[in-house]
Chain A
Amino acid sequence: GQSLEQPSEVTAVEGAIVQINCTYQTSGFYGLSWYQQHDGGAPTFLSYNGLDGLEETGRFSSFLSRSDSYGYLLLQELQMKDSASYFCAVRDLSGGYNKLIFGAGTRLAVHP
């Protein structure tokens, strides 16, 4: 089967750092993506790791360890607008085309 595990909820304060973990068990793996979704809005792409290591994009960083089937999203200098749901997703090319397998999402609440 295919599964991704991530915490259901995380709470933090403005200015803090938060890490959202994701572990996966999938039959095909070609990379790990992260998407952000605000309430009532569309999921939007944040970051992608195809190889092991850290990718940094402004206040957001993402890490991947393929040997551990593990990745995380790191959000620094948290702002109120970062309150949203964050989804990890495995890129699967096993059918010869792109598809994403999503986790259930982590709801981040940022407080003053």
Chain B
Amino acid sequence: ETGVTQTPRHLVMGMTNKKSLKCEQHLGHNAMYWYKQSAKKPLELMFVYNFKEQTENNSVPSRFSPECPNSSHLFLHLHTLQPEDSALYLCASSHAGTGENQPQHFGDGTRLSIL
């Protein structure tokens, strides 16, 4: 149990569907992150939120739309996805701040398959 919960664990959707991924953390953190993990590739940082404000959008296509209503919850809204978007989507959280190192705590991810 990492303290970061992602739902659903698995998602299969067609290219015309709209779905959302959910992430919730119970660690009292105020920074949250979305990553994409594809086989044999580095974890790709997608979005960063600090104190509910988006501080990073790593050139992510607009078919991915994040939402952070509060410091404990993070969503990734999906629409009109492409087959190459099939991957494991990981959420992470950490304390914000640039002093001491702040390790990120990851959820187990959502395995997304686009038909």
Contacts and interface: CB of A to CB of B under 8 A. Distances in A.
Interface of A: 4, 8, 30-31, 33, 35, 40-45, 48, 50, 87, 89, 91, 93, 95-105
A39 to B, nearest CB: 11
B89 interface: no
A43 B108 CA distance: 8
B41 A104 contact: yes
Given A40-B108, A104-B40, 16 more contacts: A33-B101, A42-B90, A43-B106, A44-B2, A48-B101, A50-B101, A93-B98, A95-B56, A96-B98, A97-B31, A97-B50, A98-B102, A99-B48, A101-B45, A102-B42, A103-B42
B108 A97 contact: no
Contacts of B48: 97-99
Contacts, number: 71
A102 B90 CA distance: 13
| Most chain B CB neighbours (cut-off 10 Å) among A44, A87, A100 | A100
A31 B45 contact: no
Interface residues of B, number: 29
25 contacts: A4-B42, A30-B98, A33-B101, A35-B106, A42-B2, A42-B4, A43-B90, A43-B106, A48-B101, A87-B43, A89-B43, A95-B56, A96-B55, A96-B98, A97-B31, A97-B55, A97-B96, A98-B31, A98-B94, A98-B96, A98-B102, A100-B43, A100-B104, A102-B45, A104-B40
